[in-house]
Amino acid sequence: MEQITEEQIQKFENLKKYLKELGSVAVAFSSGVDSAFLLKAASDTLKDKAIAVTVKSGLFPKRELCEAKEFCEKEGIRHIVLEADELDIEGFAENPENRCYLCKRQLFKNIKKIAAENGAENVAEGSNLDDNGDYRPGLKAVSELGIKSPLRECSFTKADIRALSRYLGLSVWEKPSYACLASRFVYGERITAEKLKMVDRAEQLLLDMGFRQMRVRIHGSLARIEVEPDGFERLMQEENRLKIVREFKKYGFAYVALDLQGYRMGSMNETIGKKSAQD
DSSP 93: T
CA distance 40 to 50: 9
Nearest to 121 by CA among 35, 45, 32, 20: 20
Spans of the chain below 50 pLDDT: 1, 274-279
Q: Which CATH superfamily is domain 6-174 in?
A: HUPs (3.40.50.620)
Looking at the chain, which residues constitute the CATH 3.40.50.620 domain(s)? 6-174
Q: What is the pLDDT of residue 25?
A: 98
Asked whether 250 and 197 are in contact (CB, 8 A), the reply is no
> What is this structure's pTM?
0.91
Q: What is the pLDDT of residue 131?
A: 86
CA distance 34 to 158: 8
Q: What is the pLDDT of residue 62?
A: 92
The SS3 assignment for 82 reads strand
Q: What is the pLDDT of residue 273?
A: 58
- Report the largest interatomic distance among the alpha carbons of the chain, rounded to a whole angstrom: 57
Q: What is the pLDDT of residue 274?
A: 42
Looking at the chain, which residues constitute the CATH 3.30.70 domain(s)? 181-271
Residue type (1 letter), 265: M
**CATH architecture for segment(s) 181-271:** 2-Layer Sandwich (3.30)
Q: What is the pLDDT of residue 187?
A: 93
Give, in order, the Cα–Cα distances in Å from 108 to each of 37, 52, 53, 182. 20, 13, 10, 17
Q: What is the pLDDT of residue 267?
A: 80
pLDDT tens-digit profile of 1-22?
468 999 999 999 999 999 999 9
pLDDT tens-digit profile of 223-262?
999 999 999 999 999 999 999 999 999 999 999 999 999 9
Count how many residues are written for the chain. 279
Three-class HEC string of 10-50: HHHHHHHHHHHHHCCEEEECCCCHHHHHHHHHHHHHHHHHE
Q: What is the pLDDT of residue 138?
A: 87
CA distance 39 to 43: 6
Cβ neighbours of 230 (radius 10 Å) = 8
* Phi, psi dihedrals of residue 123, rounded to the nearest 5°: -120, 135
Q: What is the pLDDT of residue 178?
A: 87
